[in-house]
A and B are shown apart, each in its own frame.
Chain A
Amino acid sequence: MDFLRPTTLDEALAVKAQRPDAVPIAGGTDVMVELNFDHRRPGALLDLTRIGELAEWSSSDGQISLGAGVSYTRLIGELGDVLPGLAMAARTVGSPQIRNRGTVGGNLGAASPAGDTHPVLLATGARVELASVRGRRTLAAEDFYTGVKRNALEPDELITAVHLPIATGGEQFAKIGTRNAMVIAVCSFAIVLRDGHAGAAIGSAAPTPRRVAEAERFLLDELPWDAPAPLADSFKRRFAELVAAAATPIDDVRGSAAYRTHALGVLARRTLTWAWDTYRGSARACA
């Protein structure tokens, strides 16, 4: 196995074009498990950890551009107040040691249906930036996930950044697991409410992380945006039903399909309450 360690993005893209078989390694928290257990024998590894450009973030026009190689620990510490939903998801990833190395770029690269950042990226309307020697393109997150552990990356492309709006309303992420740390989600849910936008997405409950379009439309049409009042239980239950109806979970060692569907409804109800409370608070603060 060749070990390739470029120090600039241009170099890395040139290498990837020449060696499309090279497997990128960022934090290595997914790749190394596959190597150690011989699930994968790549001809080459492309180490991204020496590329400064991938480990930076910037902010402009109400958007954050988050480099694919920024660790979860830095994301939580440096961007927790402007990207609260993503930071909530990041706090639930693995352990402090995993979060010191693991990245959002790696979560996207692995594209596991259970990856914790995906529901937030979907609910907030994030865009994924990809680059190759042929140029750059950005994709809506929902167009990036193409199947179980499959994504829209071409063999010569790298993920360079994720673009997402700074939170102006309420954002929530919640996850069910067998304990509080180091667990892959049995199911997860994210919701983002801001003026003119209601996003909601499920994780670990379908072949890919996915938005729940009908539930989103219900919120956009029916929430009392102009006079934000507490929500009736019947309203929350209707939302929970729409979320649960969009799931197509499977039975596996982590949970049964029936349990996942039930739990998603509960997460949907709770996070709607919390996110709406935050939205109402920010609406009052602006008035």
Chain B
Amino acid sequence: MTSTPDVPPAPPQSDPGAAEITTAFTVNGTPRTVGADTRVTLLDALRDRLGLTGTKKGCDQGACGACTVHVDGRRVLACLMLAAQCDGREVTTIEGLSREGRPHPMQDAFVRHDGFQCGYCTPGQIMSAVALLREGRAGTDEDIREFMSGNLCRCAAYPNVVAAIKDVAREGGDHAHL
């Protein structure tokens, strides 16, 4: 055994115990530090601590996709990650997609194609769609549907979401923009 890390003693049984932890990470290109209870999810840290309320909470259990963000470039569910797990990592949210005041092409395409109705699922849909393009999954409608299957839309804007993604894929994705 090399080094044994400091292990705090087990808290008494009656008090599961609040413990604070400081997390330093990059959010939308800006270094941020959050001190919070160890149980705070990335989703709650973004919304309640950093005031980034674009990322939505639909279910808090991984089933709806409304909380989709990018961590180190991959799409993940912010409700299923602890803020503390993001120490040193790069997080991108819907607020971080625009450049020089101009929306991301995917945001434009969702507007053009009416890819939403109430808009609650939309930040998650767009974060997923941007990642899907990068993953090279926009080749066919079937692929788009399959690889958007983790994002539910109560308003059933699905056909228009597919149309928006196809449009951006046809124009060569987001590279021109980013």
Contacts and interface: CB of A to CB of B under 8 A. Distances in A.
Contacts of B76: 97, 100-101
Contacts of B118: none
Contact of A19 (B10, B85, B128): B10
A14 B75 contact: no
A95 B38 contact: no
B150 A97 contact: yes
Contact of A182 (B87, B132, B150): B150
A6 B5 contact: yes
Given A3-B84, A21-B10, A36-B61, A11 B147 contact: no
A164 to B, nearest CB: 25
Interface stretch (B62-70, B90-98, B106-114): B62-70
Nearest to A44: B10
B8 interface: yes
A180 B149 contact: yes
Interface string B48-66: 0000000000001111010
Interface in A12-35: 14-15, 18-19, 21, 25, 27-29, 32-33, 35
Given A3-B19, A3-B21, A95-B150, A33 B2 contact: no
A15 to B, nearest CB: 6
A273 interface: no
Contacts, number: 123
Interface in A186-223: none
Nearest to A71: B74
Contacts of A181: 146, 149-150
B79 A43 contact: no
Contacts of A180: 146, 149
Interface in B15-31: 16-19, 21
Given A1-B17, A6-B5, A37 B61 contact: yes
A181 B87 CA distance: 31
Contacts of A138: none
Contacts of A1: 16-19, 37-39
B4 interface: yes
Interface residues of A, number: 41
A4 interface: yes
A248 interface: no
B41 A32 contact: yes
B87 to A, nearest CB: 8
Nearest to B132: A96
B82 A11 contact: no
B11 interface: yes
B77 interface: yes
B178 interface: no
A146 to B, nearest CB: 26
A12 to B, nearest CB: 9
Contacts of B149: 95-96, 180-182
B156 interface: no
Q: Which one of B39, B60, B128 has the highest number of Cβ atoms from chain A below 10 Å of its Cβ?
A: B39
Interface string A32-56: 1101110001011101010000000
Interface of A: 1-6, 8, 10-11, 14-15, 18-19, 21, 25, 27-29, 32-33, 35-37, 41, 43-45, 47, 49, 73, 94-98, 100-101, 133, 180-182
18 contacts: A1-B17, A2-B8, A3-B19, A3-B84, A11-B2, A11-B3, A14-B1, A19-B10, A32-B81, A36-B79, A44-B8, A94-B150, A96-B128, A97-B65, A97-B75, A97-B150, A181-B149, A182-B150
Given A32-B41, A97-B76, 13 more contacts: A1-B18, A6-B5, A25-B85, A28-B82, A29-B77, A32-B62, A36-B41, A43-B10, A45-B38, A97-B65, A97-B77, A97-B128, A181-B146
- What are the 3 closest A-B residue pairs judged by CB atoms, nearest first? A95-B150, A181-B149, A3-B38
Interface of B: 1-5, 7-8, 10-11, 16-19, 21, 37-39, 41, 60-63, 65, 68, 74-77, 79-82, 84-85, 87, 128, 131-132, 135, 146-147, 149-151
